[in-house]
Amino acid sequence: MKSFKTKLEEKAEKLAEKVKNSIRSIPDFPKKGILFRDITTVLQDGKLFCEIIEFLSERYSSGKTDAVAVVESRGFLWGAALALKLEKGLALIRKPKKLPYKTVSASYQLEYGTDSLEMHIDAVKPGENVLIVDDLLATGGTAKAAVELVERIGGRVAGVLFIIELTDLNGREKLKGYDVFSLVRY
């Protein structure tokens, strides 16, 4: 049986190839044995950055998104531009003690220990459909904590969006049951 792709899927494939060709790979950063995928080269290309935001706004313009939650720090860049294009509010998810008002917190596992994220208790309204945006899906700990925060304050996760996904690390497994989209997969 022949598979038919939508125009949006075809557009995603073409754009993903452009983005992949623009990403700089740096061996042994931040430590030996890691191949770091550097998106600063994508951000330096204003036309490509704009093309990505245009595509993402088309993908998420269905009206099912009431707010965009962004994860510190590179998620801020992508999510803020997308929220602006979609004309949606922006909710910040940050490292502990960076937000001035009352917060909720969620912890997640790191390779050696744990870390936490926080969000203002009123960052999204109860029942709002929230799109979570970050630059990278690796092991999924950060993304799962972001989902937990949004849901804890009453939001509904409309989707979880990444520019890059490192598929070997199985982060998507921690997000089962959610609409997960990544533009580029390694």
Reported as a single tens digit per residue, the pLDDT across 149-161 is 999 999 999 999 9
- Whether the pLDDT of residue 112 is over 80: the answer is no
Query: Given pLDDT bands bounded at 50, 70 and 90, which one contains residue 4?
Result: confident
Query: Given pLDDT bands bounded at 50, 70 and 90, which one contains residue 96?
Result: very high
Provide the terminal-to-terminal Cα distance of the chain, rounded to the nearest Å: 27
Distance CA 70, CA 93 (A): 6
Give the whole-number percent of the chain exceeding pLDDT 70. 98
Give the whole-number percent of the chain exceeding pLDDT 90. 94
CA angle 5, 7, 13 (to 5 degrees): 75
Query: Given pLDDT bands bounded at 50, 70 and 90, which one contains residue 110?
Result: confident
Query: Given pLDDT bands bounded at 50, 70 and 90, which one contains residue 5?
Result: confident
Give me the chain's average pLDDT, please: 96
Domains of the chain: 7-185 (3.40.50.2020)
Distance CA 101, CA 186 (A): 38
- Whether the pLDDT of residue 63 is over 90: the answer is no
- Whether the pLDDT of residue 1 is over 70: the answer is no
Q: Are the CB atoms for 165 and 137 separated by under 8 Å? A: yes
Which residues partner with 116 through β-bridges? 107
Q: Is 75 left (phi over 0), alpha (psi -120 to 50) or beta?
A: alpha
Structural tokens at position 103: 């917060």
- Whether the pLDDT of residue 3 is over 80: the answer is no
- Mean pLDDT score, 58-84: 96
- Give the contacts of 157 (CB within 8 A, at least 6 positions apart): 129, 130, 132, 147, 150, 151, 178
Tell me, what DSSP letter sits at residue 101?
S
Place of tokens 């304050």: 153
Query: Given pLDDT bands bounded at 50, 70 and 90, which one contains residue 2?
Result: low
- Mean pLDDT score, 16-23: 98
Burial of 161 (0-12, 13-18, 19+ CB in 10 A): buried
